[in-house]
Structures are given as structure tokens and as C-alpha cells.
Amino acid sequence: MALPAFSDNYLWLWQQGQLAVVVDPGDAEPVLQALAEHGLTLKAILVTHHHADHVGGVRQLQETTGAEVFGPAREDMPTTFTPVMQGTALELLGQTVQVLDVPGHTAGHVAYVLPNAPQTPVLFCGDTLFSGGCGRIFEGTPAQMLASMDQLAALPTDTRVCCAHEYTLSNLRFACAVEPRNTALQAYTAHCQQLRAEGKPTLPAQLGTELQINPFLRARHPDVRQAVAHHAGLSANEQNDDVAVFAALREWKNDFK
Ligand SMILES: [Zn+2]
Ligand SMILES: [Zn+2]
């Protein structure tokens, strides 16, 4: 379940029987409330990266519940934690949890994948991939972020994408500026506008849909490449350089109003 926090964060809580795992608890309060309301015991806390809106509640939750904290090996956390990295596999609540290194937004950002989750695989990707967009590149490089996008794009298409923020509508506005003739994107935008009008989250997204509508997963598509080249005035050489196109796409989004 998605617990709303702050203005646009989601804290993802996953449960099995009376046990629960929470991802990126930026605030302890909504998590403690959900635990009490559903009679759940918190077993583990998964952290994707060090930003305050993702770790702000970790210490309090760890102290109150005794849950084990897992976080990126290459980042600092406000508490003691078990470091994880690419290749780490955890067993939590009867589920295998695989860790991917997805640097770019921060230098050590990780994502968590549940490949055998009931129904379809689940991805907790923090601030790396958003529905219709991707995180800002604060600490990493465009090349790293593109490699992270590629790694997530290779997951099964029915993967449920659990992002940490409800940024979908503003991302889709930008996506429509990049690919005005993408009919899947137009249909998805209408669908998400409807959800938000009803006060519902647009998440989890589905990876297969994201591959059709998210320009940051489509940076190699000729339409996206051309739009970016035109907007940023890229030379023919730059236009054939995947990293240059991705970097210009991200900068275009940074300035997009
Ligand atoms: Zn962040
Ligand atoms: Zn965030």
C-alpha cells in the first residue's frame, strides 16, 4: 500500500500476514499509524538513497520497532544499517529482494526488485525512475543515469513500478512536449488526469506502459532523439551520442515550465 507523506511522497508499505516492510520512510508518523491500524509488526526498512524525505523517519522507526535497516552501501544513513549493493539478495517476508545499483540522482542510489512477488514483479525505485520521468541528476552523471534507466528498462514489462513521488502529471506534460504525436502518451495522460481528479495515486505504474510513454526510457527512440536535437540545437555527432541526447533531454526537463 502507498502511504502519502509530505506534499507528494509515497512511503511504500508491503505486508505478508501481520509482518511489514516499509520503503523510504521519510516520516515515521504515517508508518506508525498504518502499523497500529492494521496490527502489523515492522520487520525491515529499505532505503534507496540518503535524501531527507526518504530517511527522515528511519531512526524513530528503528528505535520504536527494532526493524532492521537496509541502505545503499555507498551512502551515509542517519542510523546503523546493513549495506546493500548490486547483486545483494535479501529474503524478507518470504520474498526474494534483489538490489540494483542505479546511480545518477545520488551517487549510491539503489533500487529493490521483488521478482517473485504475487501476481507481478515489484520495483521500488526511489527517485531514479518516476512515472513519465526520472529523478534530477544531483550527484551522478547523465551517463550513469542513462545506464540506470537501461537497467530498469530491462526488467519484465509487467513489473509494478513503485516510485517515491507523485510527479506523474507534470512529467507527462513535459513528455507531451517531447513527443506530441505519441498516442499511447496522450491516452495515458488522460487516464492519469482522471485518477488525480478522483484523488487517486497514479502509482504503481507498469513498466510496459512506461516504455511507451516515458521519454527518459525512450531517449534512443528516433522521435525523442530528434525532438531533443531540435530543442537543444545538437550537432549531427551529438545527436548520435546516446549520452549527449539523454543529458540534453534532462536539461530540457530542468528548464521546462
Ligand atoms: Zn531524492
Ligand atoms: Zn524524494
User: What cell numbers appear for 241 in the block?
Assistant: 551520442
Ligand 1 centroid to Cα of residue 39, in Å, is: 30
Clarify whether 109 is annotated catalytic: no
- pLDDT higher than threshold 80 for residue 6: no
pLDDT-based confidence at residue 174 (cuts at 50, 70, 90)? very high
- 28-to-4, 45, 238 alpha-carbon distances in Å: 12, 11, 46
Q: What average pLDDT score do residues 42-55 get? A: 98
Residues near ion ligand 1 (CB < 5 Å) are 51, 127
Tell me, in angstroms, the distance from the centre of ligand 2 to residue 185's CA.
24
> Pick from 50, 44, 5: which is nearest to 27 by CA?
5
CA of 160 relative to ligand 2 center, distance in Å: 19
Q: Does residue 50 have an active-site annotation?
A: no
The yes-or-no verdict on residue 4 having pLDDT over 90 is: no
User: Which ligand approaches the C-alpha of residue 72 most closely?
Assistant: 1
Q: What is the pLDDT of residues 212-255, one digit of tens each?
A: 999 999 999 999 999 999 999 999 999 999 999 999 999 999 99
Reported as a pLDDT band with limits 50, 70 and 90, residue 190 is very high
Residues 6+ apart with CB under 8 A from 127: 48, 49, 51, 54, 105, 106, 109, 135, 136, 163, 164, 165
Is 51 a residue of the active site? yes
The one catalytic residue in 27, 53, 101, 109 is: 53
| Mean pLDDT within 165-172 | 97
Establish whether the linkage from the previous residue to 30 is cis, with ω within 30° of 0.
no
pLDDT tens per residue, range 57-113: 999 999 999 999 999 999 999 899 999 999 999 999 999 999 999 999 999 999 999
With both helix axes pointing from N to C terminus, report the angle between 168-178 and 183-197 in degrees, rounded to the nearest 10. Answer: 160
Q: Is 54 a catalytic residue?
A: yes
Q: Which pLDDT score, from 0 to 100, does residue 26 have? A: 96
Split at pLDDT 50, 70, 90, the class of 1 is: confident
